[in-house]
């Protein structure tokens, strides 16, 4: 009889494992298995009809707000009707701004509050408000139609005797005009026309009734010429001026001119006058040594009178070389 073979250690361990009862899997494990073995997750679609429908549903759910108000009684509350929620977009805001701007422009254009009813003018001496208003032509117009630059140009063209013209506008209806008015020191008559000349030699058309006390009968009126590089537009005029030295000479001799005797200007001999005693006297075209020239003239006249000479012309254009003529 053969001896029974003793089992190995590995066989003993395997037999023990087979005798043990099997454990049931945990609930969490079974759930995970069910979830893993269940249906597939829904497929998400971006855009399309489904996405549009979902967005519209979300908007439909969120377009109203519910308000609950607690009452004094414990556990009691009152529900108010739902209020639609209005979303303000950029388009609506832009339309509102455009409408407000249009209303503001309409108000400024047609409202009497923004209509110019008068002009504040400073610097007038000979001119009047009526003359300024006739050229400005802004009374009764909206303040937004007043262009200060254009108004300054119009005033300068209409009144060349004005300098430093400044026009300012202020909302709602203020228009301020300031300038400096030239003051004439003499009247220059030539070819039947009269010009007023200020101390700087600027000649312009008379304005006002009262003119300067000194009158000069001239043979020509000098005008400034543009530089060679400058060209005049068609119809553009140069400013008419006299040399400042000539103006100063006229003012210097005016006190020595006999009463009711006009001063004359000759292109060859300069300024002078027709002496009531029957001759002409000239002193040149500048104010240089004018006081000395007047003294030389008095001495020359006395010497001729003592010698019994009656001249037709006495010239002191050159103080160191005076001369006289018996004939013209």
Residue 120 confidence (pLDDT): 94
Calpha distance 217→266 (Å, rounded): 9
The pLDDT value recorded for residue 226 is: 42
The answer to whether residue 207 scores a pLDDT higher than 60 is yes
Position 68 scores a pLDDT of 62
- Residue 268 neighbours by CB under 8 Å, 6+ apart: none
* 31 vs 277 pLDDT, higher one: 277
Domains with residue ranges and CATH for the chain: 112-181 (3.10.20.310), 184-226+238-325 (3.40.50)
Mean of the pLDDT values across residues 71-77? 64
Question: Is residue 50's pLDDT more than 60?
Answer: no
Give the C-alpha separation, 97 to 219, whole Å. Answer: 69
Separation of alpha carbons 315 and 307, rounded Å: 18
Within 10 angstroms of residue 177's Cβ, the number of other Cβ atoms is: 23
Compare 77 and 3 and report the one with higher pLDDT.
77
Residue 94 pLDDT more than 90? Answer: no
Which pTM was predicted? 0.60
**For 271-326, how does the pLDDT look when each residue is reduced to its tens digit (9 = 90+)?**
999 988 888 999 998 888 888 998 999 898 889 889 988 899 999 999 889 999 98
- 212-218: average pLDDT: 90
What pLDDT digit, counting tens, does each position of 125-181 carry? 888 899 999 999 999 988 888 999 999 999 999 998 999 999 999 988 899 999 999
Place of tokens 């006395």: 302
Average pLDDT of span 236-260: 83
Residue 5: Cβ within 10 Å count? 6
With a CB cutoff of 8 Å and minimum separation 6, the contacts of 174 are 120, 143, 168
The per-residue pLDDT for range 171-183, each reduced to its tens digit, is 888 999 999 999 9
Q: Report the DSSP beta bridge partners of residue 194.
A: 189
């Amino acid at each position: 009889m053969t001896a029974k073979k003793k089992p190995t250690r590995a066989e003993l361990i395997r037999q023990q494992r087979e005798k043990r009862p099997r454990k049931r899997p945990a609930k969490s494990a079974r759930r995970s298995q069910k979830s893993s073995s269940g249906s597939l997750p829904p497929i998400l679609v971006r855009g399309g009809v489904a996405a549009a429908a979902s967005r519209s549903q979300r908007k439909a759910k969120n377009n109203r707000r519910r308000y609950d108000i607690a009452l004094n009684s414990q556990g009691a509350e009152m529900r108010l009707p739902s209020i639609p929620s209005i979303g303000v977009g950029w388009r609506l805001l832009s339309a509102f701004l455009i409408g407000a701007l249009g209303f503001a422009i309409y108000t400024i254009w047609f409202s009497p509050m923004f209509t110019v009813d008068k002009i504040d003018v400073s610097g007038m001496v000979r001119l009047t408000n009526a003359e300024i208003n006739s050229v400005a032509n802004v009374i009764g117009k909206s303040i937004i139609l007043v262009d200060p630059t254009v108004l300054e140009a119009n005033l300068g063209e209409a009144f060349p005797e004005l300098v430093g013209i400044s026009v300012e506008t202020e909302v709602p209806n203020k228009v301020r005009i300031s300038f400096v008015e030239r003051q004439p020191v003499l009247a220059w008559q030539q070819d039947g026309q009269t010009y007023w000349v200020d101390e700087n030699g600027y000649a312009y058309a008379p304005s006002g009734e009262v003119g300067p006390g000194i009158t000069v009968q001239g043979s020509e009126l000098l005008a400034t010429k543009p530089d060679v590089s400058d060209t005049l537009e068609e119809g553009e005029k140069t400013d008419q001026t006299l040399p400042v030295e000539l103006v100063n000479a006229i003012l210097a001799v005016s006190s020595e001119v006999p009463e009711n005797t006009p001063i004359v200007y000759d292109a060859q001999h300069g300024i002078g006058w027709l002496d009531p005693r029957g001759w002409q006297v000239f002193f040149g075209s500048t104010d240089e040594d004018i006081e000395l020239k007047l003294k030389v003239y008095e001495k020359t006249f006395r010497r001729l009178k003592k010698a019994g000479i009656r001249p037709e012309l006495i010239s002191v254009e050159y103080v160191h070389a005076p001369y006289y003529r018996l004939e013209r």
